[in-house]
Amino acid sequence: MGAYHIIGGNILSGEIKVQGSKNSSLPILAATVLNPYKSTIYDVPDIKDISIMIDILRFLGAKISRKANTIVIDSSNIKTWEVPEYLMRKMRSSIILMGALLGRFGEVRVSYPGGCEIGPRPIDLHLKGLAQMGVNLQERHGFIFAEAKNLMGADIHFDFPSVGATENLMLAGVLAKGDTILRNVAKEPEIVDLQNFLNKMGADVKGAGTDTIKIRGCNIRDLNVVEDYTVIPDRIAAGTYLVAAAITRGDVILKNVVMEHMEPILAKLRETGCKISCHDDFIQLSAQNPLYSLDSLRTLPYPGFPTDMQAPMMAFLTTVDGTSILTETVFENRFKHAEELKRMGANITINGNTAIIKGVKKLTGAKVEANDLRAGAALIIAALAAEGKTCVEGSTHVERGYENIEGNLSRLGAKIVKID
- Report the C-alpha gap between 244 and 7 in whole angstroms: 14
Which ranges of 201-344 does DSSP label H, i.e. alpha helix? 235-247, 259-271, 310-317, 336-343
Is residue 160 near ligand EPZ by the rule CB under 6 A? yes
307 binds ligand EPZ, rule: CB under 6 A: yes
**Is 86 among the residues that bind ligand EPZ (CB under 6 A)?**
no
Is residue 308 a contact residue for ligand EPZ (CB under 6 A)?
yes
119 touches 333 (CB < 8 A): yes
26 binds ligand EPZ (CB under 6 A): yes
Listing DSSP states for 113-181 in one string gives: P---SSS----HHHHHHHHHTT-EEEEETTEEEEE-SS-B--EEE-SS--HHHHHHHHHHHHTSBSEEE
3-state secondary structure of 298: strand
- Per the residue annotation, which of 116, 274, 278, 391 is the catalytic one? 116
181-196 burial, b if ≥16 CB within 10 A, otherwise e?
A: bbeebbbbbbbbbbbb
- Quick check: 400 and 389 in contact, CB under 8 A? no
- Of the residues 163, 175, 203, 383, which one makes contact with ligand EPZ according to CB under 6 A: 163
Kindly list the distances between the CA atom of residue 373 and the CA atoms of 9, 59, 68, 232, 393, in Å, as whole numbers in the listed order: 24, 25, 22, 20, 12
Beta bridge partners of 20: 233
Shortest gap between Cβ of 312 and ligand EPZ (angstroms)?
A: 11
Work out which of 23, 69, 75, 94 binds ligand EPZ, going by CB under 6 A. Answer: 23
Interface residue with ligand EPZ, options 48, 126, 268, 337 (CB under 6 A): 126
- List binders of ligand EPZ among 398-417 (CB under 6 A): 401
**Binding of ligand EPZ by 209 (CB under 6 A):** no
**116 catalytic, yes or no?**
yes
Nearer to ligand EPZ, 109 or 334 (CB): 334
Stretch that binds ligand EPZ, among 122-130, 213-221, 224-232, 347-355 (CB under 6 A): 122-130
Q: Strand, coil or helix: what is 408?
A: helix
Chain positions 90 to 119 lying near ligand EPZ, rule: CB under 6 A, are 92-93, 116, 119
Residue 125 as a binder of ligand EPZ (CB under 6 A): the answer is: yes
One symbol per residue from 320 to 359: x for binding ligand EPZ (CB under 6 A), - otherwise; what is it? ----------xx----------------------------
Question: In the set 1, 15, 76, 122, which binds ligand EPZ (CB under 6 A)?
Answer: 122
d(CA 141, CA 286): 53
Report the catalytic residues.
Answer: 116
Note the residues at the interface with ligand EPZ (CB under 6 A).
Answer: 22-23, 26, 92-93, 116, 119, 121-126, 160, 162-165, 186, 307-308, 330-331, 373-374, 401
